[in-house]
Amino acid sequence: MNRRHFLKTGILGAGTILLGNTLSWAGEIKRDVPIFGPDTKTVGGKKHTPFIKAPKKVKAGEWFDVEVEVGHYHPHPNTKKHFIESISLWIDKLEVASAKFKPVQGAPKARFTIRINKPGKATLRAFGYCNIHGLWVSFPTEIEVV
């Protein structure tokens, strides 16, 4: 077991237990890595939990902007060895957009323009992937689609 594998499996495994992460819907996502968060009670959680800025109400079929940032609650390191590699945005259980970042110059923040065609309630979630601390989910953000 190399150092990187140990960090991902050892520390992330412990993190899952500590955070008690049992997101049942996460089983729908085709990922073979644990999902952490949302957590804004610990510094580590604040560094990794994505923040979503979105309107509370939108019109069905109309484009609107959603901003996602990792580091909103507490700045995350952005060095060549430790940085946020990507952010993805989901509507309910469908991934609709993603952005990749390079270290140092690339801030882990993105603005996505999306639309929801079906009236009703929709839930946005964002994921941020840290190259050392793994995959983190945001708090769900409910949107009313009229």
CA 84 to each of CA 7, 58, 87, 114, 129: distance values in angstroms, whole numbers, following the listed order: 16, 29, 8, 22, 6
Angle value at C-alpha 70, between 5 and 114, nearest 5 degrees = 115
Q: Which residues bind Fe ion (CB under 5 A)?
A: 130, 132-133
In the bound state with Fe ion, the residue whose beta carbon lies nearer, of 48 and 125, is 48
In the bound state with Fe ion, the residue whose beta carbon lies nearer, of 23 and 132, is 132
Least separation, in Å, of the C-beta of 69 and Fe ion? 14
In the bound state with Fe ion, the residue whose beta carbon lies nearer, of 96 and 132, is 132
User: Quick check: bond before 38 cis, omega within 30?
Assistant: yes
* Residue 25 tokens, joined: 């819907």
Least separation, in Å, of the C-beta of 9 and Fe ion? 16
Q: Of 122, 140, 133, which Cα lies nearest the Cα of 4?
A: 133
CB of 25 closer than 8 Å to CB of 93: yes
In the bound state with Fe ion, the residue whose beta carbon lies nearer, of 116 and 130, is 130
Least separation, in Å, of the C-beta of 97 and Fe ion? 22
Least separation, in Å, of the C-beta of 45 and Fe ion? 11
> Closest residue (Cβ) to Fe ion?
130
CB of 141 closer than 8 Å to CB of 125: yes
